[in-house]
Amino acid sequence: MLLATTQNRYRKDGQVGGRCAHGRLRGVGPWLLGAALLLGATAQADPNPASIHSDRGAWPLYRQWNAEELQHFARWIENIFDVKRHGDMIQRLAKIEEVLTDPEMNLLLDPEFRGEPYNPQLPRETMQVMHRILDCGKLTVSLTGYYSYIRGLPFMISWIRSGDGGDIRTSSHNDVIGGTSCFDYNSAHRFFIDAVHGFNTGHYRIEPDGIGAEQSHTVPVAITRESLLSGSMFYFDGHVLILAKVDDYGELHFLDSTTAPTRGIYYHNTMNAVSGMTPKGADPDKPWSGCYRGFRIHRYPIAETDEHGRVTSVRRRTDAEMAEMGYSLEQYEVLARIIRGEAIVEDGVRVQTMHDFVRLRMRKVSQFDPVAELKRFADEMLALCEEREQRVQAGWQDVQSAGPVTFPERNIHENVFNARGRWGDTATAAFDVDLRLAYFQMLNFMDMAIDWYAIDPGYVAPSAHWGNDIRSRSDLAFYLIRTKSRLFAERSFNYTNSRGESVTLTLADVEARLFDMSFDPNHAPALRWGALLGSEEAESIIPRATPLPNGREIALEDSYARQAYYRALTHREQEQSYLEEMFTEGFPKQQKFTQYITAKYRPQSPPPLLPWYAAPIG
């Protein structure tokens, strides 16, 4: 979870580093070094060596899907997520073509990870076909299909029809009426056109006992660390997410895409998105009705071969064959038991919600220390603030030398978060989303820790200053509030205002200004750091208007007020941005740490004067 801003990849010479497609030398940071060296140590042996061959089809086939290949695929997906989350701004905003052509994002461009034999890179025109129609469902097919193509694995698409005569994306259920595979095509380009164009979220709405279910594109998966791997999916009505990473505490992180013209790929969803599942037996007459929402994996096809390993056909795996790869209906049965109030115990802990069940099954550690995690989050946020100051100064210098930067108003392809050109080089809208996201991840993590204390007290490692005085969730909540406040007050950095003066801010100041820090490069540094207009700190501000593409300008105070909505977001909006006619109020803002934790865990009576309220924080 380290929020480093540099990116590395393993090279054959054992060094870490790389040069991106834009020619910039990327720095060397520690966050991927361990994983990179691990990759280097094991890269000589292909986890799934070639065992088959074909003389027809959209691409040559070399391998079968198996448990080792799924692990390899999971590492590929997780690396894309890691670089998108921690790479430079171009990588964080990368669309499908950029993801697949960046050697740091796409491990299949590394010969040691890719293995031998393999198929060559897809033509750009094929990637651009995928980009032009990309959405959440098509992203699942695009990434898995691409991986299958490069590694020489079989891949299939299904044909479906509505089970109730309505729209297949919203029908009560769908039926599978057939399918086709890469083995039936003579062109990879043609296969990807048909596979991506022909796929939508309706393909997930196949009930386990529905018509043609064993020809379905996906199947429910077991909630275990061995089966629920990166590359799996979570489907809820009309939307699907790609599971991209599971952290040590069982928290899930996802990749997502959009139908907006920007066709972005983003990563802000976590366990909060896991909802809307249907339990087994919701319809007494049809026990598996609606049991397609939830965690799923591809029904990975298998290539039939002759005695020489030559492929003769490609077919879907049966349910029995998919059981070896994780197929399971347990999640729907568990949800039904939770709803009925039955006792479900995992790892010695009684499950109370589906989220509890998933986290208990997926966590890798037996204990964690919330105070240590708070320190780590504080250090990460400080590093982000220091990097942000570099961006603020670079943007202000650009405006001083080259003139004001035009706001990307009403542009269906670019907005304040993903615009390229001068706006992309000088604004911090996208970066600021990551800063706010880091802050609220800290809040969500501590909220989870407090909840876990009631469920499984032994899972939450005690601080040296707790003694025997933490007896409830409320006690722990107020202890963590005080700890966070202390850590944030201790960490500080300096920014340079437009007079050249150094101004010191603490993380506590940044927290207070979290929704006030301007991302507009036309605004002076003090306003970029959230100085209150009219305050002494804001006296250094040089007023500059923000120009629009139509030639009009919006004065500083007005432009700042009209950008408030974008300053409150914790995700990169994919739609077009507005300034001239933008609203200035009426939108929600997430509660900050102290307000949220206090409201949720306030005790019935005031907390006692416990020793740790006055003790130093270790």
Q: Both tokens of residue 192?
A: 């990807």
Residues 440 and 548 in one domain: yes
Per DSSP, 516 falls in state: T
Domain boundary among 362, 381, 409: 362
Amino acid at 145: G
Do 356 and 411 sit in the same domain of this protein?
no
> What local confidence, expressed as pLDDT, does residue 350 receive?
87
DSSP letter for each residue of 186-202 = S-HHHHHHHHHHT--GG
Give the gyration radius of the chain's Cα atoms.
Answer: 26
For residue 264, being part of any structural domain is answered with yes
Cα–Cα distance, 114 to 504 (Å, whole number): 48
Into how many domains does the chain fold?
A: 2
Q: How high is the pLDDT of residue 412? A: 86
Half-sphere exposure of 37 (CA within 13 A, CB side): 5
Which residues of the chain are under the pLDDT cut of 50?
Answer: 1-43, 604-618
Contact between 172 and 164 under an 8 Å Cβ cutoff? The reply is yes
Q: 370-402 and 473-490 helices cross at what angle (nearest 10)?
A: 40
* 316/404 same-domain check: no
Question: Does the residue 101 lie in any domain?
Answer: yes
| 240/328 same-domain check | yes
Looking at 333, 362, 391, which one is the last position of a domain?
A: 362
User: How does pLDDT run across 228-258, given as a tens digit for each residue?
Assistant: 999 999 999 889 999 999 999 999 999 999 8
The identity of residue 471, as a single letter, is: R
Instruction: Check residue 420 and give its pLDDT.
Output: 87
**Residue 398 sits in the same domain as residue 305:** no
CA nearest neighbour of 217 among 264, 258, 248, 175: 175
* Residue 109 sits in the same domain as residue 195: yes
| Backbone torsions φ then ψ of 117, nearest 5 degrees | -75, 170
Q: Are residues 509 and 562 in the same domain?
A: yes
Residue-wise pLDDT tens digits, 476-529: 999 999 999 999 999 999 999 999 999 999 999 999 999 999 999 999 999 999
Cα dist from 156 to 88, 194, 325, whole Å: 35, 11, 17
Residue reference for tokens 């896991």: 274
Is 464 exposed, middle or buried, given 0-12, 13-18 or 19+ CB atoms closer than 10 A? exposed
Please check whether residue 221 lies inside any domain of the structure.
yes
Determine the structural domain holding residue 455 and report its residue range: 370-567
Residues 103 and 222 in one domain: yes
- By residue count, the chain amounts to 618
DSSP character at residue 219? E
Same domain, 97 and 176: yes
Show Cβ contacts of residue 15 under 8 Å, excluding neighbours closer than 6 positions.
none
Specify whether 312 is located in the same domain as 419.
Answer: no
Residues 497 and 542 placed together within one structural domain of the fold: yes
Do 561 and 483 share a structural domain? yes
Q: Please identify which residue in the block is written with the tokens 């601080």.
A: 463
